[in-house]
Amino acid sequence: MSFPSPANDYIERPLDLNELLIKKPHATFFMRVSGNAMKNAGIVENDILIIDRSLEALSGRIVVAIYETEFIVRRLIKEKNKMILYPENNFYHPLNINAESDFEIWGVVTYVIHKSL
C-alpha cells in the first residue's frame, strides 16, 4: 500500500522562463555580451542580456545602444540637455552624446543571465 507524499501539497506548475522574464515578446531580444565594460554592474563576457525595446530609456537604466555602428552596453545618464553613456568599469571612459554623435538607444536591459561556476 502506498500513501501520497506530503510534499504533493507544495508542488507548483513547471517554471516557464519566457513567462517570467519576457513581458512583451514582440519587443524582446537576447544578446550575448562581448567585453567587460559593465563588470561592476555584474555584466561580464558571455552573459546573455534580455533587452526590451518597448521600454523608455530613463536615466540610470542600463541600455544597449548603437554607437558609431557598434552595439554597446552602458548605463544611461541624462543630465539637463546632455546624455552620457557610463561604463561600469574604470578602464573605460564615459561617452558624451551630442548632436553629431552617431548614436541610437536600441533597448533597455531587463535581465542578465549569468552562468555560475
Q: Does 106 map to a domain?
A: yes
Range of the domain at 91: 13-46+56-113
Which tens digits make up the pLDDT trace of 88-103? 999 999 999 988 888 9
In a domain, residue 94? The reply is: yes
Has residue 3 been placed in a domain? no
Residue 51 lies in a domain: no
Q: How many domains does the chain have?
A: 1
- Please tell me the distance from the alpha carbon of residue 61 to that of residue 29, in angstroms, as a whole number: 17
pLDDT tens for 60-84 read 999 999 999 999 999 999 988 889 9
Cβ neighbors of 83 (< 8 A, separation 6 or more) are 76, 77, 96, 97
Tell me whether residue 68 is in a domain. yes
Q: What is the CATH number of the domain that holds 27?
A: 2.10.109.10
User: Taking the model in full, what pTM does it have?
Assistant: 0.83
How would you label 32-48 residue by residue, b for 16+ Cβ within 10 Å and e otherwise?
Answer: ebeeebbbebebbeebe
